[in-house]
Amino acid sequence: MSPPLLHLKDIHLTFGSTPLIEGAELAVSQGDRICLVGRNGSGKSTLLKIAAGVITPESGERFIQPGTTIRYLPQEPDLSGYDSVLAYVEAGLAPGDDPYRATYLLEQVGLTGTEDTMNLSGGEARRAAIAHALAPEPDILLLDEPTNHLDLPAIEWLEKILKGLRTAFVLISHDRRFLETLSRQTVWIDRGVARRIDRGFAHFEEWRDEVLAKEEADRHKLDRKLVAEAHWITYGVTARRKRNQGRLRKLHAMRDEKKNQRKQLGTVKMQVTEAGNSGRKVMEAEDISKSYDGRSIVRDFSTRILRGDRVGIIGQNGAGKTTLLNMLTGALAPDSGTVKLGTQLEMVTLDQRRDMLKPDWTVADALTNGAGDFVEVAGQQKHVVSYMKDFLFLPEQARTPVTVLSGGERGRLMLARALARPSNLLVLDEPTNDLDLETLDLLQEMLADYAGTVLLVSHDRDFLDRVSSSVIVAEGDGHWGEYAGGYSDMLTQRKANPLLADEAEENTSGSGTGIAGAEIKKKHSTGRARKMSYKDKHALEVLPGEMEKLEQAIAAFEAKLADASFFTKDPDGFEKTMKGLGKAQEELATSEERWLELEALREEIEG
C-alpha cells in the first residue's frame, strides 16, 4: 500500500460538553475510493472539514504529502463574492491548469457560466460547486453529500465522471446506489471512533452488524465479571480478613470501563397513525394535460392507482414531478382531462422543502402545533418528550428552535409530524433527503407495512427499488411513462423495448450538456385514443394466474370446513380457516373485477 497523501491521526474534538470525535484516524492514499458512513450527528462532516483544513481539531495530527492538492465540496457551497458562475469555477483552478477546463465543466453540468451566483436554485448551485471542485483535477476530492439537489441524470453523470478519475476521493452520501457504485474502502464513524475496512459500501452493513454483535457479547462478559467481583468483595472470606487491593483495583477498573462505554445510539421508532381504509380506487387520471407559458409539462397522461399501491415518480429537475403530483392529488386542476379521487381519503404530505416548519417554532411546537405537551399517535396520547425520543431527539431539545436543527434533524422532525397524523394516503416528496442509512431502512420497513397508498417523489434509486410497486417516469416533451416495479425494473423494461432503447441512445446528450439522459423524447401519436399503461398490461398478464391460485386456496379452505367435527376438535383452527376463506374470496372478487375492467379496456383499444 502506498504511503498516504493525507493522514489524520488521533483526532479529538468536543462540541459543548459532549465529545464528538475521540481518537479518529483517516488515511487517504493515491487511488483510494473511500465512503465515510455513520449516523446523523456522528461527526462525518466534521471529520471531512478537518481533513479539508476548514476546522482545527483540539488535538491530533493532520499530515499532507508536500505538493498534494485537495478540493473540498461542502454540503452548502458558498458562491457569494463572485459575479458569475464562471468566475466562481475559474477560482478553483490552480496555476498552470487549462483555463478552458472551467468552461468545459460548466457545459458538462448544464450551465453557461453567465448565471448570477445570487440567483441560483439549489441544484444549479450544487452543479456549479461540483465544477469548481473538479476544475483543477486535484489529487484528493473531499465530497460531502454531492448528490443533494441533483436529479437522476445528473447523479448518473457524476457517477460516470468520478469512476473515470484517477483522483482519490472521500465521499459522504445517503444514496446507497451511489456509494455501492463508487466506493472501494469504507470508514465507519461510530461513537467518535473511525473503523475501516478495505471493501466498498456493499459489504458495510454485514461488517457493521458483526462488530456490534461482538460488542454486545463483550458487554455481557463484562457485566458477568462485575457481578462476580462484586460478590467476592462483599462475601469473600479473604475480603473479610484482608482486602486484596489488586483485585479491588481490577473491579474499579471494570466499573470505570462500564461507565465510560459509549453505546451505539438508539434507532428511530417509527409508528404510522393509520386512518380507516380508503376506497379500493384511490385516484384515476384520464388524458390529463398541463402547460405553462406554452411549454407542455404533462401531456395526455392516464393512470389508475389502487389502495395499497406504492407509486414512485421520477424525473429530472424541472420536468414537472410536483405538477403531476399536485394534479393526481387534486391540489391542481389539469388544463384538460379528468382526475377522479376515491372515497374516504385521509392524505398526509411530507414536503421536501420543510416549508411546513415555521421558523419561530421549537421542536415541541412543531410536534404539537404549539398546543399543549401531548401528541396523539395511533389513537393514544403521548407526551411530546417521549415522542421526541422515538426520533432520537434529546429531552433538552424540546425548546430548541427549528432554525438551528441540522438537515437530518429537520428531516426526522418532518417525519415525526407526518406519521403522527391519521392517513391512508402518504404523499412523500424527497423523504430520503438528509436521513442516515439506518433511518432510511426503518422508513422503508414502515412503508412496507403501511396499509394505505403511497405516492413517492425521489431521486434515490435504491429506495425506489426497495419501496415502489410501480414508477411513473418523465420521458420528455410532457410525456410520462408508467412501469411495473422499481427504478431498476424500469431500466430493464426500457432496454427490452427497441423503440425506447433506440430513443434513449439517440438522446443521451440531452440538450447538449454532459448530463446524460436528461430528455428521452418519445414518438407519440397526437391522437387522444386511450392507452394501456405498462402496469395495466402487466396486471392483465398476471391476474389470471393469481385468480387461479386464489380459487385453489378457496377450495382448500372449503374442504377443511366440510369436516363436520372440525369446529369441535379445533375451534381456533376453524376460526382461522373461516377468516382465511373470507379474505381469499374478497381478494378473488377484487382481482376478477380488475381483470374484467382491463379486458374491457383492451378490447376497446383494439376494437
Render pLDDT for 323-362 as a digit per residue (tens, 0 to 9).
999 999 999 999 999 999 988 888 888 766 555 678 888 8
Residue 598 has pLDDT above 70, yes or no: yes
Indicate the pLDDT class of residue 389, thresholds 50, 70 and 90: confident
Identify the domain boundary among 456, 486, 506: 506
What was the pLDDT predicted at 332? 92
Q: What's the mean pLDDT in 378-391? A: 82
Tell how strand 193-197 and strand 281-292 pair up: unpaired
Residue 308 has pLDDT above 90, yes or no: no
Most confident of 227-236, 258-267, 444-453: 444-453
Residue 529 has pLDDT above 50, yes or no: no
Indicate the pLDDT class of residue 521, thresholds 50, 70 and 90: very low
What was the pLDDT predicted at 356? 67
Q: Which residue has the higher pLDDT, 250 or 239?
A: 250
Specify if 525 maps to a domain.
no
Specify if 545 maps to a domain.
yes
Domain match, 341 and 242 both: no
* DSSP character string of 356-387: TS-TT-BHHHHHHTTSSSEEEETTEEEEHHHH
Domain match, 334 and 450 both: yes
Q: Round to whole Å and give the CA distance between 173 and 179.
A: 7
Domain match, 339 and 480 both: yes
Identify the domain boundary among 506, 525, 544: 506
Residue 214 has pLDDT above 70, yes or no: yes
What was the pLDDT predicted at 530? 52
What was the pLDDT predicted at 296? 92
Q: Round to whole Å and give the CA distance between 520 and 482.
A: 14
What was the pLDDT predicted at 452? 87
Task: Report pLDDT digits (tens) over 360-373.
Answer: 888 888 888 877 78
Specify if 138 maps to a domain.
yes
Identify the domain boundary among 227, 260, 293: 260
Specify if 528 maps to a domain.
no
Coil vs helix vs strand at 3: coil
CATH classification at residue 574:
1.10.287.380
* DSSP character string of 218-273: HHHHHHHHHHHHHHHHHH-HHHHHS--HHHHHHHHHHHHHHHH--PPP--------
In this prediction the pTM is 0.68
The residue type found at 104 is Y
Q: Round to whole Å and give the CA distance between 208 and 461.
A: 23
What was the pLDDT predicted at 237? 43
Asked if 155 and 127 count as a contact pair (C-beta separation under 8 A), the reply is no
The residue type found at 528 is R
Q: Of all helices (H) and strands (E), which one includes residue 537?
A: helix 534-561
What was the pLDDT predicted at 48? 94
Specify if 393 maps to a domain.
yes
The total number of structural domains that make up the chain = 4
CATH classification at residue 84:
3.40.50.300
What was the pLDDT predicted at 504? 47
Q: Round to whole Å and give the CA distance between 175 and 432.
A: 9
Most confident of 154-168, 255-269, 382-396, 406-420: 154-168
Residue 133 has pLDDT above 70, yes or no: yes
Residue 245 has pLDDT above 60, yes or no: no
CA atoms within 13 A on the CB side of 162: 29
Domain match, 465 and 423 both: yes
Specify if 272 maps to a domain.
no
Q: Which residue has the higher pLDDT, 579 or 240?
A: 579
Q: Round to whole Å and give the CA distance between 20 and 193.
A: 9
What was the pLDDT predicted at 34? 96
* DSSP character string of 472-529: EEE-STT-EEEEESSHHHHHHHHHH-HHHHHHHHHTTTTTTSSSTTS-------SS--
Domain match, 454 and 314 both: yes
Domain match, 131 and 235 both: no
Distances (CA, A) of 375 to 245, 361, 379, 417, 418: 54, 16, 10, 9, 12
What was the pLDDT predicted at 396? 83
Indicate the pLDDT class of residue 225, thresholds 50, 70 and 90: low
- Residue 256, class by beta-carbon neighbours within 10 Å (0-12 exposed, 13-18 middle, 19+ buried)? exposed
Residue 30 has pLDDT above 90, yes or no: yes
Coil vs helix vs strand at 317: coil
Print the domain residue range for 480: 281-506
Domain match, 152 and 197 both: yes
Q: How far is C-alpha 598 from the geometric centre of its chain's CA atoms?
A: 34
The residue type found at 197 is I
Task: Report pLDDT digits (tens) over 42-89.
Answer: 889 899 999 999 999 999 999 999 999 999 999 888 898 899 999 999
Residue 502 has pLDDT above 70, yes or no: no
How many residues are present in the chain?
Answer: 607
Cell numbers representing residue 206 in the block? 454485514
Task: Report pLDDT digits (tens) over 83-113.
Answer: 999 999 998 888 878 888 888 889 888 889 9
What was the pLDDT predicted at 120? 85
Task: Report pLDDT digits (tens) over 451-481.
Answer: 889 999 988 998 898 888 899 999 888 999 9
Q: Round to whole Å and give the CA distance between 577 and 571.
A: 10
Indicate the pLDDT class of residue 558, thresholds 50, 70 and 90: confident
Indicate the pLDDT class of residue 241, thresholds 50, 70 and 90: very low
Domain match, 99 and 246 both: no
Domain match, 485 and 552 both: no
Q: Which residue has the higher pLDDT, 201 or 495?
A: 201
- The overall longest dimension of the chain from CA atoms, in Å, is 102
Specify if 527 maps to a domain.
no
- State the chain's mean pLDDT as an integer: 81
Q: What's the mean pLDDT in 572-595? A: 82
Least confident of 74-78, 219-223, 224-228, 337-341: 224-228
Q: What's the mean pLDDT in 520-543? A: 59
Domain match, 356 and 464 both: yes
Sheet strand arrangement including 336-341: 295-306, 281-292, 336-341
Cell numbers representing residue 224 in the block? 458477568
Least confident of 118-127, 268-277, 462-471: 268-277
Domain match, 444 and 578 both: no
Specify if 331 maps to a domain.
yes
Residue 231 has pLDDT above 60, yes or no: no
Residue 124 has pLDDT above 90, yes or no: no
Domain match, 246 and 162 both: no
- pLDDT over 90 percentage in the chain: 28
Q: What's the mean pLDDT in 164-168? A: 90
Among residues 359, 204, 379, the alpha carbon closest in space to that of 276 is found at 379
What was the pLDDT predicted at 510? 40
